[in-house]
Amino acid sequence: MPELDWAEEFARLARALGHPARVRIVSLLVRRNSCVCGEIVDHLPLAQSTVSQHLKILRKSGIIDGEIDGPRVCYWINHSVLGRLRDLLLRL
Amino acid sequence: MPELDWAEEFARLARALGHPARVRIVSLLVRRNSCVCGEIVDHLPLAQSTVSQHLKILRKSGIIDGEIDGPRVCYWINHSVLGRLRDLLLRL
DNA sequence: CCAATTGATCGTCGAATTACGATAATATGC
DNA sequence: GCATATTATCGTAATTCGACGATCAATTGG
């Protein structure tokens, strides 16, 4: 990852949270510590493929991490990245 | 404005800050208290019309307010809305 | 090894975003 | 009233987003 202007870094993180489905996913993961993809799909009124795309966007932003766990994929919050966003917002 | 699900409210505010130019505008206004449109344009590598569009997006989100001041338009941060976003992020 | 389960990826479509130049609107100052 | 300055809006083109169904890939259980 090349070094990023802070405004770009902030914008990238903000944009990752710029969709209600992604906000709900993050909120769910914050409350659950970790969650398998299928459970996340069950919590949203969206097709599995759509949720998968949102998960990909969140993962690319660094806000969540994921790992294969048997036939499933487990996701969780990357608290240091989320903390970074909070930090950037507080000192904006 | 109809009542909004909190995740949608959060997403709307996050999306408003989901572009580096808008982050820079907000940052400038935080530091300056208030600023006339022309000064904002001078701080960004973008055409006047593009900056005007970004200002409109920020105004629609509620994060900034604006008021005509002679032939100019003065913009400033709406701290209660920005505070609301901070609050939502902290208790996410 | 096969069928079933789980999740990612592909292809596609309509809608939204971002950028710009050109133009319109408004206020000021002469 | 008129020219100037300032900002918003319009029209447009290129790109990205968001949604879906269909399909592919990988793992598990039998």
Q: Chain B residue closest to A4 (CA)?
A: B20
- The alpha carbon of residue B64 and the mean position of all alpha carbons in its chain are separated, in whole angstroms, by 4
Q: Render pLDDT for A15-28 as a digit per residue (tens, 0 to 9).
A: 999 999 999 999 99
Residue among B5, B24, B89 minimizing CB distance to A85: B89
Ordered per-residue pLDDT tens for chain B, 92 residues? 444 589 999 999 999 999 999 999 999 999 998 899 999 999 999 999 999 999 999 999 999 999 998 889 999 999 999 999 999 999 88
**Is there contact between B41 and strand D, defined as CB under 7 Å from any strand atom?**
yes
A23-58 tens-digit pLDDT: 999 999 999 989 999 999 999 999 999 999 999 999
Distance A22 CA to D14 C1' (A): 26
Contact across the interface for B92 and A27, Cβ inside 8 Å: yes
According to DSSP, the β-strands at A35-36 and B72-77 are unpaired
Measured at the CA of A8, the angle between CA B42 and CA A75, to 5 degrees, comes to: 160
The model carries a pTM of 0.92
How far, CA to CA in Å, does A28 sit from each of A75, A77, B89? Answer: 10, 10, 14
CA of B70 to C1' of D11 (A): 29
Chain centre distance of CA A16? 7
Closest CA to A85 of A26, A3, A12, A5: A12
Within 8 A of A89 by CB-CB distance, chain B residues are 85-86, 89
* H-state helical runs in chain B: 6-16, 20-32, 37-42, 48-61, 79-90
